[in-house]
A and B are shown apart, each in its own frame.
Chain A
C-alpha cells in the first residue's frame, strides 16, 4: 500500500512495545508455574527449559499476533467497498530476506544446542536405554539408589537390589538422594511416568531403560503409565512419596519384613526378565 506511511516501522514498534511488556510477564509470572514443578532437580531443570522456550517463543508469537492485528485494523476493506484488487507484488527485498534467514536460523540452532547441552548434562529425567551417556555428575562419586521399576498389565512394582532384592507394590524414595530407575516390563510396552519428579521412561519387555532423578524434600508424586497398554491402562496409576532419609530407612525395613515370603520366590535380580510363556497362554 503506497500511502506514504511506513507500516513496517509501525508494526515493528508495536511488536517491540508488546514484547518488552509481555515477555517479562510471561517469563517471571507464568513460567514458574509450568509443569512439572520443582519436585526434583531434574523437574526444576525442565521448568527452566520450558521457561527458556517460552521466553523465546513469546516474541515470535507476538510478531504473528501484532502483524495479523495490524493488517486487520489498517488494511481492512472500508465503506464504500471498491473493487477487490491484488496489492503490488513484493519481490527481491534482500534485507528482509537476509534478516529472516539469520534470525530464524540463529534461533533454531540455539535451541538445538541448548536442548542438547541440557539433555546431556543429566539426562533430564528421561529414559536413556541400558547404557546411559548422560548420568548426573554425582553418580560417579556417590552411587545412586537403584530402584528397578517392573511394569506389567496393569501395575508397577518396585525392586530394590541394594536391600535384599525386596520388591514392593508402592514407591517411596528418600529425600535429597540421587536415584537410578531401571525400568523394564514383563509383558507389553508401558511407560513409567513419575510426573512431579520429571521422570518418564518407557518400560519395554527385555530392556533395561535407565533414568536418573535427584529428589528434593518430602513430596507426594503421581505415577502413571504413559503408553496405551490395554483395557486397564487408564487405571495403571499409583501415588509415590519422597520422605526423609530416616523415614525411608524405616519404610524399607518394613517392606523387607512384610514381603519376606514373596522375596523368597522372586527370580534372581536381573536387568530384565524373560518369564516363560504361561502354560495357559503358551
Chain B
C-alpha cells in the first residue's frame, strides 16, 4: 500500500509517461499524414494540361528565397503554387507548358541537350519545334527518368533586359516558353528532377535546391 508521498510520485510518473507517449504518437501521426501539397493537371477540351514555371529564386517569403525552383502555375501564368508533386492521369497524353524565367547555366553532360520520351521526340521552344538546344544555353531540365522523358529548358540570355528576380514572375518579364507532350504510364509514384546542377552558391551547383525535394525535383503521382 503506497503512502501519500509515494502515491503522488506514482501518479506524477504515470501522467508524465502518458503525456510523453501521446506526444510521440502525435508526432509520428502528423509525420505520417503530412503529405506535401500537390497540383493536379487540368482536363481541357484539348487534353490534359500541366503548366509549370522555373524561376531563378523562390518568393521572398519562402524559407529559401534565394533558391532556384519550379512552380505550378495555371495557363495564364497565375496562381503560382510552390509545389513539386504533380498529379496526372494514367496512360494519358499530357501537354506540358513551362514558363522558363531563369538564366543559362550549361550542362555537364551535353547528351541531355536533346529531348527524349516526348511525342515526336521533340518539343516547342517559343513556338518553334526542335529536338535539341545548345548545351551551353540550357537553364534546366525537366526529366522523368522512369518514363524516359527528358526535355532541356533553354535559359534567358545573359543580355536579357527585364529578368525576373523572385517568384511569382509576370509574363511581361523575360522568359522562354517550352511545351511538349508525353504519355504517362501506369498508376504509381514517379520522380522527376532537373539534371542541371543549378544551385547557386553551392559547390558545382549540386547542393541546396538540387538536394531538397520541393525545389528542383519532386514526384509525378499518376492516378
Contact = CB atoms under 8 A, between A and B. Distances in A.
A266 interface: yes
Contacts of B201: 281
Nearest to A266: B110
A278 B108 contact: yes
Contact of A265 (B110, B193, B199): B110
Given A186-B108, A262-B114, A169 B206 contact: no
B212 interface: yes
- Contact residues on A (Cβ < 8 Å of other chain), bracket: 20 to 34
B109 A169 contact: no
Contacts of B148: 169
A267 B111 CA distance: 9
A281 B198 contact: yes
Interface string A178-194: 00000000111000000
A190 to B, nearest CB: 13
Given A169-B148, A277-B205, A262 B110 contact: yes
Interface stretch (A10-18, A63-71, A74-82, A229-237): A229-237
Contacts, number: 103
B205 A235 contact: no
B163 interface: no
Nearest to B213: A231
A230 B108 contact: no
B104 interface: yes
A279 B106 contact: yes
A92 interface: no
Interface in B77-135: 103-106, 108-114, 116, 121, 131-132, 134-135
Interface residues of B, number: 41
B221 interface: no
Contacts of A262: 110-114, 132
Nearest to A231: B211
A187 B197 contact: yes
Given A232-B191, A258-B121, A261-B131, A281 B199 contact: yes
A153 B111 contact: no
A167 B111 contact: yes
A258 B193 CA distance: 23
B150 A169 contact: yes
Interface in B193-213: 193, 195-206, 210-213
A281 B206 contact: yes
A152 B198 contact: no
A261 B114 contact: yes
Contacts of A265: 110-111, 113-114, 132, 134-135
A280 interface: yes
Contact of A281 (B114, B145, B191, B202): B202
B152 to A, nearest CB: 10
A215 B107 CA distance: 33
A231 B217 contact: yes
A221 interface: no
Contacts of B202: 281
A280 B211 contact: no
A154 interface: yes
Interface string A140-175: 000000000010111101000000000101000000
A100 interface: no
A130 B79 CA distance: 53
A232 B144 CA distance: 12
A275 interface: yes
Nearest to A150: B109
A10 B103 CA distance: 81
A277 B211 CA distance: 17
A200 to B, nearest CB: 21
A198 B131 CA distance: 36
Contacts of A152: 108-109, 195
A280 B105 CA distance: 5
A281 B203 contact: yes
B200 to A, nearest CB: 5
Contacts of A273: 109
A232 B103 CA distance: 25
A259 interface: yes
8 contacts: A153-B195, A157-B109, A169-B111, A169-B150, A232-B217, A278-B205, A280-B197, A280-B200
Given A167-B111, A265-B113, A278-B197, 17 more contacts: A150-B111, A153-B195, A153-B210, A154-B193, A186-B108, A187-B204, A231-B213, A235-B145, A261-B131, A265-B110, A265-B132, A273-B109, A275-B108, A278-B108, A279-B104, A280-B103, A281-B197
